[in-house]
């Protein structure tokens, strides 16, 4: 039996991947800094192994992964979320038998760096908003002409993002926390999740949020957008991408999509792929990757919390209740019920941290596995 190692287990995306590989006949291992986590409760996971948090000790984390790979005879390593920026450094260090479903570290870092990605995409003629390093003359000139968005180079889940209106001053540049200034596209947001082999896209989900927790979508709807599909195909081909690849877009007044950032990993769009196809499409570029029949999906417990909070905060209780009552949860499975039933307990480390920081679940869910810099530097996009 072949063995796959998932390098995170706390998110529903990991559970989808675990179930998919188990259904394909693979032994599933999960490496996770938390002792208890969502995928660890699944009957599809053979073993969960506690590893150091990469944001705290990257080399210890990579050494732990290499130890698991050697001891367990791992055939395939599949990153799940933000930890991909660390896991990509395993290229060139793996046993001959072991494949890593991710790009090398330099490609992942460039895509993850919001400034470097914008500059790269603009050079290829792809639609990205004007983007400049915070503190540069070009950034100041851009902010003097229009509303802009200031973002940390490596933030995720909306952490540290600020909208600066025309006439407001830009924040001071901080060398220890580099950021970009990006032209604001004031329209609807859409996101993607794609599975790619050697620059060829096996499948792309385009989706939009139905309910938010902070800036993170917790209920979502699959939509069609040929212009976004074309952007994904062009970027994947230009980079020769292999692995999961995701983007966030804003639509302008004419409905044209502008890519505001790249996420070189899975997103919640993964849930819209037919689970029986998912592992097989990772293993075989020729395997068809279908969509699930549901066009709307939700993370039930997060949506329940937001619906309850809306009673006190205002903001669409009736609409949220209808979404909660009529939308299928991404975690529930009658064949594998424990992850859904024990989610509050297995997610407690994240819930506790979110309460302590007065932040959303999504904002803190990957703090200990995210990237804190040291990769590509921001560069200006096309003038």
Is the four-CA dihedral 123, 129, 134, 137 of positive or negative sign?
positive
- Decide if 120 is inside a domain: no
Res. 383 pLDDT band, cuts 50 70 90: very low
As a whole number, mean pLDDT of residues 56-81 equals: 97
The answer on 232 and 169 residing in a single domain is: no
The answer on 316 and 289 residing in a single domain is: yes
Q: 3-state class of 34 per DSSP?
A: coil
The answer on 198 and 177 residing in a single domain is: no
Share of the chain above pLDDT 90, in %: 78
Res. 381 pLDDT band, cuts 50 70 90: very low
The answer on 213 and 162 residing in a single domain is: no
The chain-wide mean pLDDT, for the chain, equals 92
Instruction: Give the distance, in angstroms, between the CA of residue 1 and the centroid of all CA atoms in the same chain.
Output: 29
Q: Which residue has the higher pLDDT, 131 or 306?
A: 131
pLDDT for residue 23 is more than 80: yes
What does the alpha-carbon distance between residue 24 and residue 96 come to, in Å, rounded to a whole number? Answer: 23
Q: What is the pLDDT of residues 135-175, one digit of tens each?
A: 999 999 999 999 999 999 887 766 788 999 998 999 999 98
Q: What is the pLDDT of residues 273-291, one digit of tens each?
A: 999 999 999 999 999 999 9
DSSP structural state of residue 269: G
Domain that includes residue 232, residue range: 189-331
pLDDT at 349: 86
Is the four-CA dihedral 126, 132, 138, 143 of positive or negative sign?
positive
The answer on 148 and 260 residing in a single domain is: no
With 0-12 CB in 10 A as exposed, 13-18 as middle and 19+ as buried, what is 334?
exposed
- Decide if 67 is inside a domain: no
Q: Which residue has the higher pLDDT, 360 or 35?
A: 35
- Decide if 205 is inside a domain: yes
The answer on 153 and 268 residing in a single domain is: no
The answer on 327 and 253 residing in a single domain is: yes
What does the alpha-carbon distance between residue 106 and residue 264 come to, in Å, rounded to a whole number? Answer: 12
pLDDT for residue 107 is more than 50: yes
- Decide if 202 is inside a domain: yes
The answer on 298 and 164 residing in a single domain is: no
- Decide if 18 is inside a domain: no
What does the alpha-carbon distance between residue 272 and residue 344 come to, in Å, rounded to a whole number? Answer: 23
- Decide if 69 is inside a domain: no
pTM > 0.75: yes or no: yes
The answer on 323 and 298 residing in a single domain is: yes
Q: What is the pLDDT of residues 295-315, one digit of tens each?
A: 999 999 888 888 888 887 777
CATH number at residue 274: 3.30.470.20
Q: What is the pLDDT of residues 186-236, one digit of tens each?
A: 999 999 999 999 999 999 999 999 988 877 889 999 999 999 999 999 999
The answer on 195 and 174 residing in a single domain is: no
- Decide if 224 is inside a domain: yes
Spatial CA neighbour of 321 closest among 302, 308, 340: 308
As a whole number, mean pLDDT of residues 245-266 equals: 97
What does 150-196 look like in DSSP terms, one character per residue? Answer: EEETT--TTTT-EEE-TTSPPPPP-TTS-EEEEE---S-EEEEEEEE
The answer on 199 and 155 residing in a single domain is: no
What does the alpha-carbon distance between residue 166 and residue 169 come to, in Å, rounded to a whole number? Answer: 8
The answer on 318 and 197 residing in a single domain is: yes
Q: What tokens does 219 get?
A: 């209920």
Domain count for the chain, please give it: 2
- Decide if 234 is inside a domain: yes
Contact 201, 194 (CB under 8 A): yes
pLDDT at 158: 66
């Amino acid at each position: 039996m072949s063995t796959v190692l998932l390098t995170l287990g706390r998110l529903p995306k990991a559970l989808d991947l675990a179930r998919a590989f188990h259904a394909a006949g693979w032994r599933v291992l999960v490496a996770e800094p938390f002792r208890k986590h969502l995928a660890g409760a699944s009957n599809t996971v053979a073993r969960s192994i506690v590893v150091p948090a990469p944001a705290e000790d990257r080399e210890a984390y990579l050494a732990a992964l290499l130890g698991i790979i050697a001891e367990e005879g791992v055939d395939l390593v599949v990153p799940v979320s933000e930890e991909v920026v660390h896991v990509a450094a395993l290229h060139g260090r793996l046993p001959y038998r072991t494949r890593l479903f991710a790009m090398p570290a330099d490609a992942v870092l460039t895509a993850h760096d919001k400034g470097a990605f914008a500059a790269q995409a603009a050079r290829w003629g792809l639609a990205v908003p004007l983007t400049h390093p915070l503190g540069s003359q070009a950034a100041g000139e851009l902010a003097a002409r229009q509303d802009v968005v200031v973002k940390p180079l490596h933030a995720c889940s909306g952490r540290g993002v600020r909208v600066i209106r025309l006439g407001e001053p830009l924040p001071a540049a901080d060398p220890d926390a580099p950021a970009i200034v990006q032209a604001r596209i004031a329209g609807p947001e859409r996101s993607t999740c794609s599975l790619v082999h050697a620059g060829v896209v096996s499948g792309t989900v385009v989706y939009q949020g139905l309910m938010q927790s902070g800036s993170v979508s917790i209920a979502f709807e699959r939509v069609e957008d040929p212009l976004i599909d074309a952007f994904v195909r062009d970027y994947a081909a230009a980079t020769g991408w292999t692995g999961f690849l995701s983007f966030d877009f804003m639509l302008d007044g004419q409905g044209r999509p502008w890519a505001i950032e790249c996420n070189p990993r899975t997103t919640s769009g993964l849930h819209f792929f037919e689970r029986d196809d998912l592992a097989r499409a990772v293993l075989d570029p020729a395997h068809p990757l279908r969509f699930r029949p549901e066009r709307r999906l939700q993370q039930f417990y997060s949506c329940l919390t937001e619906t309850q909070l809306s009673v006190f905060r205002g903001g669409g209780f009736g609409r949220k209740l209808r979404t909660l009552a009529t939308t299928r949860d991404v975690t529930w499975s009658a064949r594998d019920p424990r992850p859904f039933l024990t989610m509050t307990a297995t997610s407690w480390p994240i819930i506790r941290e979110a309460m302590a920081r007065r932040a959303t679940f999504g904002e803190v869910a990957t703090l200990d596995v995210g990237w804190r810099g040291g990769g590509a530097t921001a560069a200006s996009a096309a003038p």
